[in-house]
Amino acid sequence: MKQQDIKIGYVYTDGKAGLRRVTAAGPEYKLYDGQEETDCLQYEIVASAVAGSIVERGRSAAGKPLANSTRQSFAAWAKAAVPVDQLEQKIAEIGAKRVKLTPPQAKLMRTFEPADDLNTGRSWCCEPDELRTARACQDKGLLTLEDEPCPRKRFEVRLTRLGIEVARLVITNAQAPE
């Protein structure tokens, strides 16, 4: 991206697994005192591909790590701005790539096909033998159980936004040619 395109309050992505929100700009955000560059930024790390790859300079009000950079360096890292209305979706997409599923969990997530009809408001009916797997998926934040299911009875689940993205990945990978 171009340096002049980097604005305070906007979220940017590197096109991989990184999301950063620019929180402030000014010479006080230099990386070190001897640095000549004064066009510097402070940013919040919303999502990162590699934990610990950034030197933290504190925490934001939301508890996310803060770091500093020159505008030039930040612009070289940033590939695109993320619109505010797409931020949650982007976070879910990045998170979905990090979720590890056991074979039974992957099988359950494949049952939510077709991928085009997946949304957080729709519920699905599951078989009694899927209860243990559904609870494990609930613990990972992928779905919620509707009411407290009874053993040996069918039960309903709703996918979370993260669960929708995981299901899309699992379904897409299952349909990929070998």
- Which stretches of the chain are assigned E, i.e. beta strand? 11-13, 19-25, 40-47, 66-70, 80-82, 123-126, 143-145, 155-159
Q: Please tell me whether residues 12 and 80 are part of one structural domain.
A: yes
CATH number at residue 134: 1.10.10
**Domain final residue pick, 52, 68, 90:** 90
Q: Please tell me whether residues 32 and 85 are part of one structural domain.
A: yes
**Domain final residue pick, 44, 61, 90:** 90
In tens, the pLDDT along 70-113 reads 999 999 999 999 998 998 888 888 888 889 999 999 999 998 87
Residue 55: pLDDT band (50, 70, 90) is low
Q: pTM for the complete prediction?
A: 0.70
Q: Please tell me whether residues 140 and 170 are part of one structural domain.
A: yes
In tens, the pLDDT along 126-176 reads 888 999 999 999 999 999 998 777 778 889 999 998 998 999 889 887 655
Range of the domain at 52: 3-90
Q: Please tell me whether residues 86 and 7 are part of one structural domain.
A: yes
Q: Please tell me whether residues 107 and 86 are part of one structural domain.
A: no
Pull the structure tokens for residue 23: 């929180």
Query: Domain count of the chain?
Result: 2
Burial class (CB in 10 A: 0-12, 13-18, 19+), 87: middle
